[in-house]
Structure 1
């Protein structure tokens, strides 16, 4: 299994993240509730959003699964803090 690309939410806004096809992009945050993120992906054929969640004391980060080569814009919003970030993901073969 290939290790995911891991990026902090605080660092992703306005950037382009390159993700190899078959890999995942995982977002981390020390200050934002992980289960409260939603995302809009402009091209869902390229990337699929997987929401974060909490199960007992375990927290799971929100992330994206690469589906096909291409470029797509992403806007994420956190419902509890009002934080919003926008970035581009370039999925490469």
Structure 2
């Protein structure tokens, strides 16, 4: 199993993140409102959004799962803070 690609949510705006099909972009750095992020995905066949959540014993950051080769623009918005970040995800074939 490949380790997820971890990117600080405060540094992702305006960047391109490259990830292999089947892997996940783990959006780190929001320890308080991690469950309040939602996503607008330009091409939902290329990537999907993974909600931030807590299950009582563990906390899971929001993320983006790579579904198929291609690129998609992603815009994340936090309903608590009003913060918004936009970036591109480039999905490559597994090695």
Task: Give TM-score scaled by structure 2 length.
Answer: 0.91
The aligned runs of 1:36-55 (5 Å cut-off) are 36-55=36-55
Aligned to 1:58: 58
Runs of 4+, deviation exceeding 6 Å: none
Structure 2: gaps (5+ residues)? none
Q: Distance in 2 between matches of 1:62 and 1:19?
A: 16
Checking the alignment, whether the CA contact within 8 Å between 2:9 and 2:30 is kept in structure 1 is: no
1:53-92 equivalence runs, <5 A: 53-92=53-92
CA separation in 2, counterparts of 1:29 and 1:75?
17
Partner of 2:24: 24
How many residues matched?
A: 93
Q: Deviations over 1:10-38 (max 9, x none)?
A: 01000000011121111011455110000
Q: Which has the larger share of helix?
A: 1
Q: How many Å separate the matches in 1 of 2:20 and 2:54? A: 27
d(CA) in 1 for partners of 2:30 and 2:47?
24
